[in-house]
Structure formats: C-alpha cells, structure tokens
Amino acid sequence: AAPDYSPAVVVGTGYGAAVTALRLGAAGIPTLMLEMGQLWNTPGEDGKIFSDMLSPDRRSSWFKGRTEAPLASFLWLDLANRNIDPYAGVLDRVHFGDMSVYVGRGVGGGSLVNGAMAVTPKRWYFEEILPEVDADEMYGRYYPLANSMLGVNDIDPDWFETCDCYQFARVSRKHAHKTGLKTTFVPSVYDFDYMRREEAGEVPRSALASEVIYGNNHGKRSLDKTYLAAALGTGNVTIQTLTEVRDIAQQQDGTYTLTVRRIDAEGNVLGVRQLGAKYLFLGAGSLGSTELLVRARDTGKLPDLGEDVGQGWGTNGNVMLGRANHVWDPVGALESGMPALGIDAWDDPVHPVFAEIAPVPAGLETWASLYLAITKNPERGWFSYDPGADRAVLQWDVAQGQPSIDAAKNLFDKINSANGTIYRYDLFGDTRAFENRFTYHPLGGLVLGKATDLYGRVKGYRNLYVTDGSLIPGSTGVNPFVTITALAERNIARVLAEDF
C-alpha cells in the first residue's frame, strides 16, 4: 500500500509525468506516481498483453461496450468495431459534443497506444508558439536529451525502398512528388531494426500484425521501457495503478491533500481515500490535468486559481482523410502500423500542413491512402465545470474544426488533381471526406506562461506544477510527444534547482 503522505506526488504516468518522476527520483526525492490505468505487463489467455486492431477485445478500450476506432467504416460497413465487455483497457475516447479525444490509459499513458512518431518541430515554429521559452536551450539541450532518453531511431532508407510493409508509403510519396510536394522520413520510438526482422520472419510480429492504437506487444519503446524503467531504477519512485485522483485541496500548512479512488480492472470501486503531498506535479495529460484544476477552482477547493485555468485548448489541427488510388497502384496487403513518412508542407504561407502517411492495417489490399494531417488551426476551446457530472467539459464547436479541413483540402485537392484520384467517402461512418471530430493530440488547458509561470508552476499556489501536454498552447505543428518530453525536462531542471 502507498504511504498516506509522500514528499512528492506525480499524477499520471505519461510523458511529462515520467520525465518528472525520473528527475525527482534521481535527486533522491521519494516520489509516488498515481495512474488510473493498469500496468500492462501480464499476458492474457492468448499469450498476448494487448489485442490487435483486427480483433480487438476488452483490453483495447477504457470501459466501453463497443470499440470506437478512428476509421469508423470501410465501404460504409462497420468492419473495424467489436462489442466488448467494459474493462480498464488501454485506449480511451472521451466524448465532448462535437469533439472527442483519444488518450492512452495505463502505465506509460499515450506511449502505449500512439504511432511512435517522434518529431521535433521546426525551430521557427517552436519560437512562434512558445516565444518566451529559450529556443537555444531547447534545441541545444532538451530536445537532444528527450530524443536520446526516448530511444528515437531513424528508418534505414535502403530498407524503406525495398520492404513490403511501406509500399503504401512509397505510393503516397510518389503521388506527393508528382504534385511537387516534399516528403520527409519521420523518426520513431518503434525499433525499426525489430520491424525489419518482423518482415524477415525472424521475430514475432507487432507493427506488421496490425498492432498500434490498442498497444504493441513488441518493438515499441514505450515509456515503461524508457523513462519509467529508469525512474523505478532510482529506487525512489513507486507507481500505484488503477488509482484515479479526483480532488485536490490545500491544507493550512501549504501541503496538498488528494482524494483518490481505487478501482479494479472491471471497474468496481475498491475504496476512496486521502493522500498528502508537499510537492504535487500534474502529469495527467491535457484532459486529465486541466479537469483536476478546473474542478478544484470551481468547487472552491483551490479558490486562488485564475481564469486562465481551462483555456487555450487545441487539437493540433488534426484532420484525417483517405484517397482512393487507381487499381494499377496497389498499396500492398502488408502495412506497418507505424507511419514512417510525412508530407511536409509546413512552409506553405496560407495553409501549413504536415501530413503523416498513415497505414490502413487491414491485412488486405485496400487501394486506399490514409493521412493524418496536422494543420495550423488558430481556433481554441476551453473547459467549463459541470457540477452535476462533476466533470470538466470541453467547449468546442464543430465550426472550429473548419480551418483544419480547409488546409487539408487545399493540399489534397492538389494531390488528387495531379494524380487523377479522388477522396474516399466511405471511411468515417457517413459520406464525409474529412474527419475532424476527433483528435489524437489534445494540447493546452493550462498553458505555459498563462495558467502557470514559464516553468509550469501553477499561478496562485506554491509547490503545485503542471508537467504535460496541457502546457502547450494548442499546436506543435508536428506530433507532440517529443516536445512534451523536452519541455518537461527543461521545467523540472529549473524546479529542482530552485524549489527543493
């Protein structure tokens, strides 16, 4: 059992949380991590820890009666989703009216379910989104540190040209180049050498066995294998799973009291209790950390929290779309679950787009090219508190997604026109070509320099910190986890030097 008081508590076990716990532990500070999801280390009856995308079972989803895959349909048929028993599975899709947000649940947070793309943004764009952060320090020190700690690796370009599993990416590249667009390899925390051996038949398949959003049984350097393993290795960090932080209050002496709810994997509540902490770090992700502070402010438990708490939330401009290829241009039946190439049109002055060439790991030829486009959408959402549901509710209107669609359409209309191809209208449950009703990249809610100071210290409270994606003001221009990691490294270095 966890102690009733811990000098430092970290909420969550995603990127920001994992960095913070390692650095606290390495500095000799006893640190307790609280994670609402499970530790994913025990194989089920099929010998696997995670289920795949073709036959997802209850391990796939966080308390759902049916899976909720991003590709809702194929030829308008609901082929991807399955009825399942509610369970503490690894992927959640949190619904807020016109927007839903995918998040990972478990020790490692989003690293368990994400596409492993480890991209450092262009420096000029980083300077635009976070102008008050020293970019020399970020690009000279913290991005390289994050990349090395996360185990980021590059694909062997010769293998990329010849392997079966990236034929889909080569086809999309050909179409992009014919349009006069640039493509770029995307670094990854999936071990490309392991993938090469998967294709050669030397090791059990994971990326090549339709595994990605419901977890990878092999090959991926998720946080439990990198930062969290190192954190536990300090001997000062413990992780308590299936433990959700519900409330935060402050005592007279300035310490924090957390109300935590323990459940079992079937969702039965085992108990609710209080924990004390001197230093409290919120790493529960953009949705989780923002909810905790919006709730604390609006229920009067942390009344000095300001108006900036809950503001500045964005989707990183996410929009998904598919193109229909000609029959003579097959993408191949074997598609790696991990993207390795992107179309880089971020320099476009009107409609910047970074479009990942995404797989459709269906195990058969689809003649479809899929993309997750990251666009520069200036629209921002915010969170209100719903007392009835005791929940922070995202305020995001469907019209706010339109700039993302406009940008993606501008780019992909050109690609279609240069290649004589059309959009796919059968992938998102109705006849839309562009899906922007979900995001994989929730960012903001507790923005750096607004709800916190320039190092993640929450304004109005001492020894209370934000460490995760909620610090980033809605956009990174590329996939966000390397930036979240690097920023967390930067912030905890300063906090350890000044506050302890």
Tell me which H or E stretch contains 199.
helix 192-199
- Which two three-digit tokens encode residue 466? 């934000």
The length of the chain, given as a count of residues: 500
- Rounded to whole angstroms, the Cα distance separating 237 from 150 reads 19
Whether residue 282 contacts residue 292, with contact meaning beta carbons closer than 8 Å, is answered with yes
**CB of residue 285 vs ligand FDA: minimum separation in angstroms?**
3
Whether residue 151 contacts residue 220, with contact meaning beta carbons closer than 8 Å, is answered with no
Query: What residues are paired with 257 via a beta bridge?
Result: 249, 276
**DSSP labels for 362-396?**
-SS---EEEEEEEE-----BEEEEETTTTEEEEE-
The vertex-372 CA angle with 366 and 376, nearest 5°, equals 155
- Rounded to whole angstroms, the Cα distance separating 408 from 428 reads 16
Closer residue to ligand FDA in complex, CB, 146/179: 146
**CB of residue 284 vs ligand FDA: minimum separation in angstroms?**
3
For ligand FDA, the binding residues (CB under 6 A) are: 11-17, 34-37, 102-106, 109-110, 113-117, 213, 244-245, 283-286, 288, 292, 440-441, 468-469, 479-481, 484
Residues identified as active-site: 356, 441
**CB of residue 480 vs ligand FDA: minimum separation in angstroms?**
4
Q: At what angle do helices 481-499 and 143-150 cross, to 10 degrees?
A: 110
Closer residue to ligand FDA in complex, CB, 17/309: 17
**CB of residue 468 vs ligand FDA: minimum separation in angstroms?**
3
Q: What is the torsion angle, in degrees rounded to the nearest 10, for the CA atoms of residue 472, residue 478, residue 481 and residue 484?
A: -30
- Rounded to whole angstroms, the Cα distance separating 232 from 32 reads 10
Closer residue to ligand FDA in complex, CB, 198/247: 247
Closer residue to ligand FDA in complex, CB, 230/419: 230
- Rounded to whole angstroms, the Cα distance separating 22 from 428 reads 40
**CB of residue 252 vs ligand FDA: minimum separation in angstroms?**
25
Closer residue to ligand FDA in complex, CB, 20/236: 20
